[in-house]
Chains A and B, each alone.
Chain A
């Protein structure tokens, strides 16, 4: 299928460039670690984390590093005008968007693979008790965040003050994702885990993802053409 092939090509291009320098993945990873450290100083009292701080710290680290990764990924496109090149090609716009989204998702998942065990380790949080639900929450939450983020980062590429405007635009819109992610994770980490609640949050995340990926696909072309 033409669409899938284009998505794969765009994603492969991004991953190949990233693999050669590994710039974004290393910097984002260590940024996530520093964020978690800074938050630990606020929320760890007498050697023990404040009740319920672990999920919050995890998701804040994901949100902050996600914003950084998005900014860096599209800065790279801007420097070489490659985004304009992509748009001038006969590739379908939805495929371009999905290809970029897939690349960003993989980057964020790579960060989470390190961040999640680190949070479990630093805060003695039993994040691996329900691995399937935990992974589902992380994936759907990251997808929701990345879907809106990829669109906004792409549309801000040629805008002034884009570095500060991206988080400014992104965070209010992704508030439902953060709430659902944190509360869902917290429901799993409670002393008596609340599985139905975690599933309720997961279904909200799925709903959010469906609506906002669709919306982003609709608006991508309109927003990227001059």
Chain B
């Protein structure tokens, strides 16, 4: 079995932009705290509200990861693209990581701001359920044995399609309680650090996705080389 150098390191859009993006994201993360400190205090919650600048971007990154995982899973299942499997796995792991950040910052904020750790509100509960879907994706990959790539792709695809239903059902369930729409009504001074943080987190997400995907592709390549050697 001959190894072509190109097969080990394909040049993609991500490889050319990787270094500039790393520099940009690092700079944004360095600047963001300054913007956050400079943002005005929210009237009722004071300093505690500033955890929002981590909470909201983490959720945005999680939803981006969900979409990437769903699309990559579809490519694995319907187009037979084995390379997309690495992307799907990387995206699923990032759903769990960014989701965990959101799930920890949420109760921390809620406890201080509204006195309860968890209030079963529509957004939080839907996000928790979606997070659980992708935790189950990872458990299937880990404990499912050989052949679980296709099966977990089905879970990823179902998870992506399930997201609107989860939100719809949980939202309808909780219609009695007022919906909290914090983002559109924020004063402009708060909006700038918020969107800056969100872009920074999304940049971080893309970097982590690229690195993890590349790692997973190399691991899969190594596995197949081991198997070829055993024959």
The interface of chain A, by Cβ under 8 A from chain B, is: 148, 151-152, 155-156, 158-161, 165, 168-169, 171-173, 175-176, 179-180, 183, 200-201, 204, 207-208, 211-212, 215, 218-219, 222-223, 226
Contact = CB atoms under 8 A, between A and B. Distances in A.
A207 B161 CA distance: 12
Interface of B: 77-78, 129-130, 132-133, 136, 139-140, 143-145, 147-148, 150-151, 153-155, 157-159, 161-162, 165-166, 168-170, 172-173
Contacts of B159: 172-173
A151 B147 CA distance: 16
Given A159-B145, A159-B148, A160-B144, A180 B154 contact: no
Nearest to A224: B150
A176 B161 contact: no
Contacts of A204: 165, 168-169, 172
A148 B158 CA distance: 9
Nearest to B142: A161
Contacts of A172: 129-130, 132-133, 136, 159, 162
A226 B103 CA distance: 37
Contacts of A207: 165
A104 B130 CA distance: 26
A160 B169 contact: no
Contact of B151 (A175, A176, A201, A223): A223
Nearest to A168: B136
A179 B173 contact: yes
Nearest to B150: A223
B143 A165 contact: yes
Contacts of A223: 77, 150-151, 153-154
The secondary-structure label for the interface of chain B is: helix
A183 B154 contact: no
Nearest to B148: A159
A73 to B, nearest CB: 18
6 closest A-B pairs by CB: A160-B145, A176-B169, A176-B165, A172-B132, A179-B169, A222-B77
Nearest to A208: B165
A173 B162 CA distance: 6
Contacts of A148: 158
Given A165-B140, A215-B158, A222-B77, A158 B169 contact: no
Contacts of B158: 148, 173, 212, 215
Contacts of A179: 169-170, 173
A200 B143 CA distance: 39
A47 B77 CA distance: 53
A161 B136 CA distance: 13
Given A156-B151, A223-B77, 14 more contacts: A152-B155, A159-B140, A159-B148, A168-B139, A175-B166, A175-B169, A215-B161, A218-B78, A219-B154, A219-B157, A222-B77, A222-B78, A222-B154, A223-B150
